Chain A
């Protein structure tokens, strides 16, 4: 059972502002998804490890060498709000008294 509070909680976790109509819609969609996925819950996987990558690759260590990177001004050029070499965002940490 998916209730409205579940949807609101998920939206908060996902940092997604939803309208009332969207909350109703996604409540329905989540419920549909949960019931269609029930079949999956019944598969016996007791002796099975999960697969996170289909083709196993061994990560090889490479030399720790300095390589070229993008210049700071170029990286900042895509930002919606930049100043003094930084991306500017609203205040995150409250000022101390």
Chain B
């Protein structure tokens, strides 16, 4: 990104030229990939011309003014279609920008398009998108991951230099890992959720996807901060894009939880992560075997809470104020028919599961129980950071799977096995590429740290990036 900024700064390229180059790449790649739901060619070029004008007049909004970005299609962009990959919102154009989109505009970033996802971010492969699957740029027969599969694939294929995604149980880190790019799930509350279509408000976070750790950190610095319009956003913490520091790794305590290296873990994934850990150790880090035993309950806890919250959040789609409406003689029938017509099968499944766990006779046994187990998971995670600085695990149990390989929904939910814990406990976590397997598929390593320790995460991520590829 510094290179693009330098080119703009020294007039070697205009924003219009840069945006045009990415649009050409999109035109070339999209027939195979399907990473975008909407490409805003006209809007992006207009924004680019404005950026060029600002630079010519010496009033650039930021060093990144004029560098385009792709945005996941569940993040509101005023006037630009925001479908959440659902038929229900096929023609929905938000009336306002999400705060994070506002942040991008304040920095002068032209929005090049809206990326594909699983419908309402419910999924781990983008196969549940109403607009077709996003294919993995490294192997077109495989998924790009999800739910932010469009953002990860777009960045991996050079259709955009960076992108925003959202992560509720692994939806930024898992596709980043599958596509060989960097993706950060920030601390809960570090980034505003205002204008981001909710899946599970107690778990959702917006985060950056980019090709390098530094670009990921830069994008995070643009969107982090408190927001009056999001009561769950936290007070400002100073965040500086950290510099690479060779000495930093000396004495760094890295927790390695045995539970993440057990049954079900792909051998090549394990080898790559172990090799990377050995490399960090050889440079002075201290590997500390730890236990995160409560991860055994992470997926079931996550699934209970996410379906409950989703069923409640999605109650707003009633066909009254926006979206799909199917006419009927009475309102209840109109709601039921509109929702039946607008939602896909996975969304309906989660609404049904969520309604079940929230219903009067099951609330205590399921929802309340899951909230309490969540407390145990959070305690377990936070206790580990009293012993170690960061925890390192594989991002996913396997590399990208084939399109259509996971027919059973419960099997699909297991893709989040290593990532859901960070959402449940609210901590930040980043996925960084750590090589490829024998088939040439990218592999990812996950680094987790305590609340608001993003700077530390990025410093360790630099080490992984330089030492483990």
Contacts and interface: CB of A to CB of B under 8 A. Distances in A.
Given A16-B340, A16-B352, A49 B232 contact: no
A62 B234 contact: no
A5 interface: no
Contacts of B311: 14
Contact of A62 (B95, B228, B378, B410): B228
23 contacts: A15-B336, A17-B339, A29-B349, A30-B352, A30-B356, A33-B410, A36-B410, A37-B300, A40-B297, A40-B301, A40-B366, A43-B372, A50-B368, A51-B374, A53-B202, A54-B188, A54-B202, A54-B427, A57-B234, A74-B95, A80-B320, A89-B334, A92-B330
A49 B351 CA distance: 26
Nearest to A62: B228
Given A15-B332, A74-B95, A37 B303 contact: yes
B398 to A, nearest CB: 20
A66 interface: no
Given A33-B410, A87-B321, 4 more contacts: A36-B410, A52-B202, A53-B202, A90-B328
Interface string A40-68: 11010100111111110101001000000
Interface string A68-97: 001000110111110000010111100000
A48 B380 CA distance: 13
Contact of A29 (B301, B334, B352): B352
B373 A75 contact: no
B354 to A, nearest CB: 8
A39 B187 CA distance: 28
B336 A57 contact: no
A3 interface: no
B174 to A, nearest CB: 19
Contacts of A29: 349, 352-353, 409
Is chain B's interface secondary structure helix, strand, loop, or mixed overall? helix
B84 to A, nearest CB: 14
B403 to A, nearest CB: 21
Nearest to B335: A15
B352 A55 contact: no
B409 A51 contact: no
B229 to A, nearest CB: 10
B348 A39 contact: no
A87 B352 contact: no
A78 B378 contact: no
A83 to B, nearest CB: 13
B376 A43 contact: yes
Contacts of A78: 92-93, 95, 321-322
Contacts of B318: 15
Contacts of A62: 228
Contacts of A92: 330-331
Interface in A1-35: 6-7, 10-11, 13-18, 22, 25-26, 29-30, 32-33
Contact of B95 (A45, A55, A70): A70
Interface of A: 6-7, 10-11, 13-18, 22, 25-26, 29-30, 32-33, 36-37, 39-41, 43, 45, 48-55, 57, 59, 62, 70, 74-75, 77-81, 87, 89-92
Given A17-B337, A48-B375, A53 B232 contact: yes
Is chain A's interface secondary structure helix, strand, loop, or mixed overall? loop
Given A16-B339, A50-B371, A62-B228, A90 B334 contact: yes
Contacts of A15: 315, 318, 332, 335-336, 339
B189 A16 contact: no
Nearest to A81: B325
B349 A80 contact: no
A36 B334 contact: no
Nearest to A37: B300
A90 B300 contact: no
B323 interface: yes
Contact of A87 (B320, B345, B356, B426): B320
B303 A49 contact: no
B169 interface: no
B304 interface: yes
Interface in B84-121: 92-93, 95-96
B359 A33 contact: no
B365 interface: yes
A54 B301 CA distance: 13
Query: For A11, A29, A45, A55, which residue has the most chain B Cβ atoms within 10 angstroms?
Result: A55
Nearest to A53: B202
Given A17-B339, A90-B334, A39 B374 contact: no
A80 B325 contact: yes
A57 B232 contact: yes
B322 A79 contact: yes
Query: For A26, A59, A75, which residue has the most chain B Cβ atoms within 10 angstroms?
Result: A26
A37 B234 CA distance: 33
Query: For A17, A53, A91, which residue has the most chain B Cβ atoms within 10 angstroms?
Result: A17
